[in-house]
Structure 1
């Protein structure tokens, strides 16, 4: 019985962690600071039905080639957090209440050119009034982080799509694309990767897949990206797939990379 209770509590941890963003609205979810700017603002709204306490701290993370992050134990030479100040660092919000969090930047004199990044971590603290029904109590701290980037003497990132191939997802048996993107220069890219299909019998381009909010950070030289087809879209005839990685936000006027993949009848027999 005890093991069953523990299992149910741990399962609850997983489900609650997946719903953090459902109870906490953060805007924006990414901050890019120009070297001439001195402050940035983030709006936090408690969208749950109970009063919540949130803590705001810095977290250092390293991007991985396959997506996601590794949490680092300490700051690095490219961490942004040592040159910042957060206000407030903790807040209590009633249902529907919002709070503006300010990030002040204090650049040291002679700061070297390059990109500096830390992640602003919002932690939803457990309510002290919540009592466990049994003698077992697990205090869960749910959290969500957003990247904050400062670029000094920014240069436009150079990105190339080195490889693209058609594959089959082993879970749902649907076709998908596996791509490798290579980034050069010391600055990250940010944008969306889109796939368009043109059949051999038509000149029309059809958008069949897209992934947004795609960043390739300086610590990642090559990124492996999986691009899944939209629901209702299928590849069932030969033609050509055109991939385009285009910039968004501060890179909205940049086309980073393009790649063409011929689709043959034999490839569709995966």
Structure 2
């Protein structure tokens, strides 16, 4: 029993201290049919073990809750993009690049297309040696946690635009959180930053924020919970501001008087 426990403890420590960590930049790629027809992802292995990754496209649909579901079938965007490499092996602190190039067929319908470039870790070797396993008399335990990162790649074909509104904002009991509902119309996605602002002597100061809020084209509205980092007094005037990402066509900035 002691040998079994020691074996389990050793494997647990190996899984705990030998970890993969992949740094991927940028966290979103944006392509269009007229100007931006390529993208480059920089990858660095920030873990302490050599790691191997498969790279492939996957389609997902956003839900109003903010969750995602995978879609089956041919990729909406991947059919228009060539990329390389498809598999990488990185030593600790080693980096590389993945390049994407747009190959858009004539007559492609105007609209926004989106897929997710996935970096999925795969084992370098078998967790246990088969010959040793056959002769082992003790219980063996293998623990593996494979890293997986998904990055959205957005393609806009034609002149696309949208409008975005702050439908409502609700300050929760205890004044520690604001629920902000954004509403989107039009033929392109919207993503940006939400700020809760306190107005004092005519000046607005940020007291809470939600970074990279996203409403993709399959949903029209979504509610975000913004945590406040300062105490709010009953007499404070509060505003909500939503600023679209500057890389979007014709980015919007909208405000809403919370109270």
TM range, normalised to the smaller chain? 0.7 to 0.9
Q: Alignment partner of 1:220: what SS? A: coil
Structure 1 Cα separation of the partners of residues 186 and 27 of structure 2: 25
Q: Which aligned runs of 4 or more in structure 1 are off by greater than 4 angstroms? A: none
5+ unaligned residues in a row in structure 2: which ranges? Answer: 130-137
The corresponding residue for 1:149 is 154
Offset at residue 252 of structure 1 (A)? 8.8
Mean CA deviation greater in 179-188 or 61-70: 61-70
The corresponding residue for 1:24 is 22
Whether contact under 8 Å (2:161, 2:250) holds in the other structure is: no
Distance 1:175 1:26, change over 3 A: same
Alpha-carbon displacement from aligned partner over 1:108-166 (angstroms, at most 9, x marks no partner): 21111110000000012123164499534355432011000000113232001111111
- Give matches, 1:33-44, under 5 Å: 33-36=31-34, 37-44=36-43
The number of equivalent residue pairs is 239
Q: Between Structure 1 and Structure 2, whose CA radius of gyration is higher?
A: 2
Alpha-carbon displacement from aligned partner over 1:195-245 (angstroms, at most 9, x marks no partner): 10125xx33322111111122100011111111112xx1112323211111
Q: Alignment partner of 2:247: what SS? A: helix
Whether contact under 8 Å (2:161, 2:249) holds in the other structure is: no
- The two structures, once aligned, show a CA RMSD in angstroms of 2.7
Mean CA deviation greater in 236-245 or 219-228: 236-245
The corresponding residue for 1:256 is 253
The corresponding residue for 2:119 is 122
The corresponding residue for 2:187 is 186
Structure 2 Cα separation of the partners of residues 164 and 93 of structure 1: 46
Q: Does 1:73 align with 2:72?
A: yes
Structure 2 Cα separation of the partners of residues 193 and 75 of structure 1: 34
**TM-score scaled by structure 1?**
0.79
Match of 2:105 among 108, 112, 118: 108
**TM-score scaled by structure 2?**
0.83
